[in-house]
A and B are shown apart, each in its own frame.
Chain A
Amino acid sequence: MSEHVYRDLSLNGLWKNNPALVQLLGLCPLLAVTASVVNALGLAAATLFVLVCSNTAVSLIRNVVSDAVRLPAFVMIIASAVTCTELLMQAYAYELYQILGIFLPLITTNCVILGRADGYASRNPLGRSAFDGAMMGLGFGVVLVLLGALREIFGTGALFADMDLLFGPAAASWKIVLVEGYQPFLLAILPPGAFIFTGLLIALKNRIDSGIERRAAARREAPVRGSKRVRVTGTIS
């Protein structure tokens, strides 16, 4: 039973109910920071951390706060979690803090976080809420990084540039130049490119989903062919 819950939570966060591709939440930072992998990764990590913290805290206090004031209470929790993350990042990852700039405090307004606090953590026990936060954060982060990679490849013809800002001097050599002398493709790097690539990712996901559905439907129909019961129950179109 409990394994089911965790499997469903993972599936929901990473695929079925992906915050970025299905719920379309948190698009503002998603579109703004995904011009390169390193920026996307930085924001993904910060969002994941805040999401786990806020889900945990909200789940802990879910029986204390009345319905009428739950939203202000959640917002306070989220805002303080973000502020603390910002301070910690400033102290221990100053370079990354400088890169993310305004998008770090703006995590507070990321609807994914309030959405999960109100939609899941406020009515589920601690362990599941924290796990849900982790999976939603991961689902959001994967899309961020994927989008960052696509835009970096199409925009600059290289991948993993400037990773040393995040992983220290050793990572400076991670940059992979895919096309020598690539003419920068401005559209991919500027905000319109973010919209286009997000749209393409959503289309790809829908295509995969409908493929899975078709195959599942085909499998469901096959065994009942010829059975008499099929004429009495179910819908035939």
Chain B
Amino acid sequence: MKVLGQSITRNGLVLSAFAVATAVLIAGTYLQTRERIAAEQRAAEERALLEIVPREAHDNSLLDDTLPAPVGEDKLKLAEPRSIYRARRDGRVETVLVPARAPDGYSGAIDLVVGVDRDGTVAGVRVLEHRETPGLGDKVDRRKSDWIDDFAGRSLQNPAPAQWKVRKDKGVFDQFTGATITPRAVVAATRRTLEYVKANEATLFAGGTTPAAAEAAPAVESGP
């Protein structure tokens, strides 16, 4: 009995020592890489946003001018809190970048960000995260194909709401060979985002709610 107790104690101590050592190792790596990872994530997010609104087209810091995007909202269908980014020029909101989620992708949800200009036209759409079939459905990703550029310049009037569909469903948007479900989901999510922006136009494009806008306000008055 005594021997058993000793071996349990010894093994327990060895395992605890291991737990401590590995925890220290992970904590050390985490602390070493934490800042770099945060910077990479921010940069990746900003890259996606800047593809829609080029740097020349706005003069504020996109990542610092945000509105909360509501979770559980019927049109955006977000699963977790995200941010709506606003691109301003001379203090006036020119483009809003709205996160949206297409829950009906071929393999799970597709996360999008949709840029909408002041006049209701699409500035651009980008897929942030997806798990669509490589080589087929993943063509919605701008890195794989330029299909998604087709949205730029469209609006709820162009085409008419009934035609915001893929060709197979008698709409105007191309589907991919071998993959209809993915583009169908993305087209529908983009249309819903446009409807959301239209319904919330006043709040989204309102100026003067951030310090950046307040500073820029005089410039607007003296302008044309």
Task: List the B residue with the shortest CB-CB distance to A156.
Answer: B135
Q: Choose from B26, B136, B144, B177 the contact partner of A84 (Cβ within 8 Å).
A: B26
A127–B181 Cα gap in the complex (Å)?
Answer: 52
Known: A80-B25, A91-B40, A94-B44. A64 touches B133 (CB 8 A): no
Tell me the A residues contacting B by CB distance below 8 Å: 35-36, 39, 64-66, 68-69, 72-73, 76-77, 79-80, 83-84, 87-88, 90-92, 94, 98, 101, 152, 155-156, 161-162, 165, 183-184, 186, 189-190
A79–B29 Cα gap in the complex (Å)?
Answer: 14
Q: Choose from A35, A69, A94 the contact partner of B134 (Cβ within 8 Å).
A: A35
Minimum CB–CB distance for B188 against chain A, Å = 23
Known: A69-B11, A165-B143, A184-B177. A189 touches B18 (CB 8 A): no
B83 CB contacts on chain A under 8 angstroms: none
Minimum CB–CB distance for B68 against chain A, Å = 25
- The answer to whether A36 touches B134, judged by C-beta atoms less than 8 angstroms apart, is yes
Known: A76-B18, A186-B136. 9 other contacts (CB 8 A): A35-B135, A65-B18, A69-B14, A88-B29, A91-B40, A98-B44, A162-B143, A162-B144, A186-B133
Chain B count of residues within 8 A CB distance of the other chain: 29
- The answer to whether B11 touches A83, judged by C-beta atoms less than 8 angstroms apart, is no
Minimum CB–CB distance for B48 against chain A, Å = 12
A87 CB contacts on chain B under 8 angstroms: 26, 29-30, 33, 37
- The answer to whether A155 touches B135, judged by C-beta atoms less than 8 angstroms apart, is yes
- The answer to whether B135 touches A189, judged by C-beta atoms less than 8 angstroms apart, is yes
B19 sits at the interface (CB 8 A)? yes
- The answer to whether A91 touches B37, judged by C-beta atoms less than 8 angstroms apart, is yes
A91 CB contacts on chain B under 8 angstroms: 33, 36-37, 40
- The answer to whether A189 touches B29, judged by C-beta atoms less than 8 angstroms apart, is no
Q: Choose from A84, A88, A190 the contact partner of B133 (Cβ within 8 Å).
A: A190
Task: List the A residue with the shortest CB-CB distance to B11.
Answer: A69
A39–B134 Cα gap in the complex (Å)?
Answer: 10
Task: List the A residue with the shortest CB-CB distance to B133.
Answer: A189
B10 CB contacts on chain A under 8 angstroms: 66
Q: Choose from B11, B25, B41, B178 the contact partner of A186 (Cβ within 8 Å).
A: B178
- The answer to whether B135 touches A68, judged by C-beta atoms less than 8 angstroms apart, is no
A92 CB contacts on chain B under 8 angstroms: 36
A65–B15 Cα gap in the complex (Å)?
Answer: 9
Minimum CB–CB distance for A172 against chain B, Å = 10
B177 CB contacts on chain A under 8 angstroms: 183-184
A77 CB contacts on chain B under 8 angstroms: 18, 22
